């Protein structure tokens, strides 16, 4: 059971989120409608996870994201799942740029469509709460396409790109292997190929690998 704070200005979605989370046995300790209330709620309750809509009053631009960054700084133990209506790769890059320290919570960025898919949504929350990463496949695609190192990425094979995209979403090797219907060995081989092509030293941590890749893509 996780203790969760929700920040979302549309009451219907707020209610829907609370319902889904309650259904999964999580405790929604606060559901607020703007960034200031969110920061106050996080400071007061120190939740495990904060689920944050990017666009909130008063300006309806990226208040949620800025609040998320502030929370990351002031309450690093709180995991953050940000979601928005449209793909904004900059937001994802901003979020991932905040390098978590030791014992920090995870971060995730989903589209609202994904939030509407109950299974994927609760999955993402679980991953983020465990200190991992959850990125929307569309966000990952956007980042891959918009990457400055497009020429380097072009050297990857199609399969390697698939693996990279799934890794970027925060999937484990096992999950990637399952998704692509290949053996875990094969996935490991692909990953080491990707790292060598991108010039990144291999690392043992799933999460750090994803961050390394994304830092490379987004920076």
Partner 1 sequence: MAGVTSSPLRRALVAPFTRRAWAELWYALVSFPLAVGAFAFSLVTLHNGIFLAGSAPALRRLGSANRYLVRRILAEDIPAPPPLRPYSVAHVRTPDADRLAALARAEGARVKQRGNRVTIGKLPANRIAELAADEHIVIHALNPGNKVGWYRGASRDPYTWKARGYFGMKPVIASIHLVVAVGFRLAGLFYLTYPLWQEFAGAGPGLGTGHPVPLAASFLFVPLGAALLLAAPWLTHGVSELDLMFVRAFLGPASDPAALAERVKNLEQARAHVVDDSAARLRSIERDLHDGAQAQLVALAMKLGLAKEKLEPSAPPDLTRIAQLVDDAHLSAIEAIAELRTLARGIHPAVLDNGLTDALTTLAARSGVPVELIADIPERPSAAIETIAYFSAAELLANVAKHSGARHATLEAVHVPGLLRIRVTDDGHGGASAAPGGGLRGLAERARTVDGRLDIDSPPGGPTVVTVELPSHA
The sign of the dihedral angle between the CA atoms of 216, 89, 188, 198 is negative
Q: Which of residues 41-60 bind partner 1 (CB under 8 A)?
A: 55, 60
Q: CA torsion angle for 157, 212, 96, 76 (degrees, to 10)?
A: 150
Shorter beta-carbon distance to partner 1: residue 82 or 96: 82
Q: Which of 119, 158, 199, 201 binds partner 1 (CB under 8 A)?
A: 119
Q: Which of 19, 27, 74, 184 binds partner 1 (CB under 8 A)?
A: 19
Please choose, out of 9-17, 33-41, 94-102, 195-203, the segment that lies near partner 1 by the rule CB under 8 A: 9-17
Shorter beta-carbon distance to partner 1: residue 13 or 147: 13
Q: Which of 10, 43, 77, 130 binds partner 1 (CB under 8 A)?
A: 10
Q: Is 17 in the site for partner 1 (CB under 8 A)?
A: yes
Q: 86-89 long-range CB contacts below 8 Å, 24 or more apart?
A: 86/111, 87/111, 87/136, 87/138, 87/139, 87/142, 88/54, 88/62, 89/139, 89/142, 89/143, 89/146, 89/218
State the alpha helices, DSSP H only, in 9-84.
11-23, 35-45, 63-74
Q: Are 83 and 109 in contact (CB under 8 A)?
A: yes
Shorter beta-carbon distance to partner 1: residue 23 or 27: 23
Shorter beta-carbon distance to partner 1: residue 21 or 42: 21
Q: Is 16 in the site for partner 1 (CB under 8 A)?
A: yes
Contacts of 216 by beta carbon, 8 Å cutoff, 6+ apart: 147, 149, 198, 200
Shortest Å distance, C-beta 35 to partner 1: 16
Q: Which of 27, 61, 97, 117 binds partner 1 (CB under 8 A)?
A: 117
First-last CA distance in the chain: 35
Q: Which of 116, 126, 175, 215 binds partner 1 (CB under 8 A)?
A: 116
Q: Is 112 in the site for partner 1 (CB under 8 A)?
A: yes
Positions touching partner 1 (CB under 8 A) are 9-10, 12-13, 15-17, 19-20, 23, 55, 60, 85, 112-113, 115-119
């Amino acid at each position: 059971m996780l203790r969760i704070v929700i920040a979302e200005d549309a009451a219907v979605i707020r209610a829907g989120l609370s319902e889904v989370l309650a259904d999964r046995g999580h405790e929604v300790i606060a559901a607020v409608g703007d960034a200031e209330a969110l920061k106050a709620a996080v400071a007061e309750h120190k939740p495990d996870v904060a689920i944050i809509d990017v666009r909130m009053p008063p300006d309806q631009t990226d208040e949620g994201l800025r609040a998320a960054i502030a929370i990351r700084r002031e309450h690093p133990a709180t995991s953050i799942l940000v979601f928005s209506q449209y793909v904004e790769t900059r937001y994802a890059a901003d979020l991932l740029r905040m390098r978590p320290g030791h014992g920090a919570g995870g971060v995730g960025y989903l589209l609202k469509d994904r939030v509407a898919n109950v299974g994927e949504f609760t999955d993402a929350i679980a991953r983020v709460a465990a200190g991992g990463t959850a990125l929307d496949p569309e966000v990952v695609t956007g980042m891959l396409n918009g990457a400055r190192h497009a020429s380097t990425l072009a050297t990857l094979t199609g399969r390697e790109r698939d693996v990279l995209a799934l890794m970027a979403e925060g999937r484990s090797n096992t999950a990637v292997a399952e998704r692509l219907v290949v053996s875990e060995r094969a996935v490991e081989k692909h990953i080491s190929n990707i790292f060598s092509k991108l010039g990144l030293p291999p690392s043992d941590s799933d999460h750090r690998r994803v961050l390394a890749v994304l830092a490379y893509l987004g920076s």
